[in-house]
Amino acid sequence: MAQGDNGSSKSSSVTPYEEALDALSSLITKRTRVGDVNMEERFNVLYKYLKMLDLEEAISNMKIIHVAGTKGKGSTCTFTESILRNCGFRTGLFTSPHLIDIRERFRLDGVEISEEKFLVYFWWCYDRLKENTDDNVPMPTFFHFLALLAFKIFAAEQVDVSIMEVGLGGKYDATNVVPTPIVCGITSLGYDHMEILGNTLGEIAGEKAGIFKHRIPAFTVPQPDEAMHVLREKASQLNVPLQVVTPLDAKLLNGSRLALGGEHQYINAGLAIALCSTWLKMNGHLEDSYLKHIQHTLPEKFIKGLTTASLQGRAQIVPDQFINDEIPNELVFFLDGAHSPESMEACARWFSLAIKDQDQILFHQKLDNSNFSNQVVKMHNGETVQKKSTQILLFNCMSERNPQLLLPHLMKTCADHGVYFKKALFVPGLSVYHKVGSHALPATDSDVDLSWQLTLQRVWENLMQGNKEGKSNNSAPEELNMEMSASNCEHSAVFSSLPLVLKWLRDTVQQNQSTRFQVLVTGSIHLIGDMLKLVKK
């Protein structure tokens, strides 16, 4: 099908990049993630692909940091990459999922791979696999291909360090073909992907510990006893020196703040410091004596790495450029891809503190010499009136998740901080799961199935009925006009598409100019990506 240079063989209306994405989309299996798939068999086929791509020796020579876990994998990998890049090393970072563009999954020196390089490496791998696969050994699945592509990119680009984030689980994850990483990390464990990884924390921990290799040092963060017991047991079986890392002490940042928001990021930062320190030591860049002091004083390059790291969709604040050109700072999106009960709590804590921070900053701006004065007050008959803030929830989650676990954690944690949502909005994502690339987005939303969103709405309404105090949001406008929604209840509404939600929010801001709207978008990393595509247009 494709030619080795850019694979171009279709009409000129499809760009070479879109053509590559179409080829990639063909690898997305239509079956569900579970079922009769033998994980071990599917994993073992990866070694045949490595042979086809002539990557075996390259991978064994790579200086890899391998990270698994339930929560905080992407953040830990991002901190780790940023620290080592600031220490002067050429870095490769492989993470998942992407939010807007598939190339986000492959970062070279902190920047997503260019379209030109992506196309060269993509077709190099795709064509060789296409030539050598058959009915017995079919083309790799979507994520398996992406992991193989990452190894090819980092080997060809001769990075000093490759930071590889596990996609799912550990033992049978495509990244686990790494024979001898330099160091391994396990982030916070919790209940997620239980349909694949097991129903207990012990079973889940066992899958994650599948990345441990004989005598290779590993680090983890404080874990529930059941999970920690399994991690220690697996480490012992492989003679792995496993150490538990404490969260980073904020004082060590010398007055600066972590680049990624939320208290839980100090746990991830502590793990990243341990991974980087060990990687540096194992490669002859740090003395043992220096390592002993790293808990009490952080090198300047570590601080810079931790305070400048960037990761979209995790505790990200995005003011709406469209509406804020006319009425500055009146519509702000707080985006976090939380999708497990524990990460929902962390997200709710971050949001609750972030909106208070924002309100305080705006209120304390000096009126006489500040561009922000009209964000803080309106003048009515000469009187100064402080703006009211209203919180809106925009939520979707995949149907494998249990909203009865997610939404109560979110609601309760926000309520504990005195934050109540005026309205919860439920909407299906734009993403089509069997396609990648923006040219694959659906053109119409007329036939969208809203049954899952209506289920989410019922869960929320039931929670609100059982939580009467949540009804009172004194700072909210009297009534919001929900004409565009498919289903409007007392505390929530269902919309058939994200563009409709965005239009409704912008219209509502125009109609309530004495109110600042703070919208928490959460529940699904896909929803975050779709929202960013729309808001950043």
pLDDT at 285: 85
> Could you tell me which residues are annotated as the binding site for Mg(2+)?
96, 165, 193
pLDDT at 400: 85
| Whole-angstrom distance, CA of residue 459 vs CA of residue 189 | 26
| Whole-angstrom distance, CA of residue 37 vs CA of residue 31 | 9
pLDDT at 368: 37
| Whole-angstrom distance, CA of residue 258 vs CA of residue 266 | 8
Kindly state the percentage of the chain with pLDDT values over 70: 82
Q: What is the pLDDT of residues 126-161, one digit of tens each?
A: 999 999 999 999 999 999 999 999 999 999 999 999
Query: What 3 state SS string does 372-393 have?
Result: CHHHHEEEECCEEEECEEEEEE
182: nearest Cα among 286, 319, 50: 286
Kindly state the percentage of the chain with pLDDT values over 90: 68
| Whole-angstrom distance, CA of residue 118 vs CA of residue 163 | 18
Bridge partners for 65 per DSSP: 163, 183
Average pLDDT across the chain, whole number: 86
Tokens of 149: 């592509």
Same fold, 38-308 and 316-363+386-467+479-536: no
Report strand pairing: 377-380 vs 383-386.
antiparallel
Sign of the torsion formed by the C-alpha atoms of 340, 341, 344 and 345:
negative
Q: Is the peptide bond before 328 cis (omega within 30 degrees of 0)?
A: no
Tokens of 132: 């050598």
Taking the model in full, what pTM does it have?
Answer: 0.85
pLDDT at 286: 73
First-residue to last-residue Cα distance in the chain? 33
| Whole-angstrom distance, CA of residue 103 vs CA of residue 112 | 6
* C-alpha angle 330-332-333 in degrees, rounded to nearest 5: 160
> Could you tell me which residues are annotated as the binding site?
96, 165, 193, 314, 336
Q: Using an 8 Å Cβ cutoff, are 332 and 317 in contact?
A: yes
SS3 506: helix
Phi, psi dihedrals of residue 334, rounded to the nearest 5°: -110, 110
Beta strands (DSSP E) in 341-483 are: 377-380, 383-386, 388-395, 423-426
| Whole-angstrom distance, CA of residue 42 vs CA of residue 255 | 49
SS3 536: coil
Tokens of 378: 């309106």
Q: What is the mean pLDDT of each run of 10 residues along the chain (537 residues)?
A: 46 85 88 61 96 97 97 96 97 94 97 98 98 95 97 98 96 96 96 63 95 98 96 98 97 95 94 97 76 75 96 91 72 93 92 86 47 39 63 94 94 96 92 61 64 96 78 53 85 94 93 91 94 86
121: nearest Cα among 154, 84, 167: 154
Helix (H) or strand (E) holding 124: helix 115-132
Q: Inter-axis angle of helices 498-511 and 525-535, to 10 degrees? A: 60
SS3 214: coil
Tokens of 173: 């994850």
Could you count the other beta carbons within 10 Å of the beta carbon of residue 404?
11
Residue ranges per domain, the chain? 38-308, 316-363+386-467+479-536
| Whole-angstrom distance, CA of residue 261 vs CA of residue 165 | 20
| Whole-angstrom distance, CA of residue 33 vs CA of residue 252 | 43
Q: Using an 8 Å Cβ cutoff, are 492 and 461 in contact?
A: yes
Q: Using an 8 Å Cβ cutoff, are 206 and 234 in contact?
A: yes
| Whole-angstrom distance, CA of residue 374 vs CA of residue 377 | 5
For domain 316-363+386-467+479-536, the CATH architecture is: Alpha-Beta Complex (3.90)
What residues contact residue 509 under an 8 Å CB cut-off, 6+ apart? 323, 327, 330, 331, 515, 517
Q: Using an 8 Å Cβ cutoff, are 178 and 184 in contact?
A: no
pLDDT at 73: 95
pLDDT at 470: 46
What residues contact residue 365 under an 8 Å CB cut-off, 6+ apart? 372, 373, 375, 376
pLDDT at 376: 40
| Whole-angstrom distance, CA of residue 102 vs CA of residue 112 | 9
Q: Inter-axis angle of helices 73-86 and 265-282, to 10 degrees? A: 50
> Could you tell me which residues are annotated as the binding site for ATP?
314, 336
What CATH code would you report for 38-308?
Answer: 3.40.1190.10
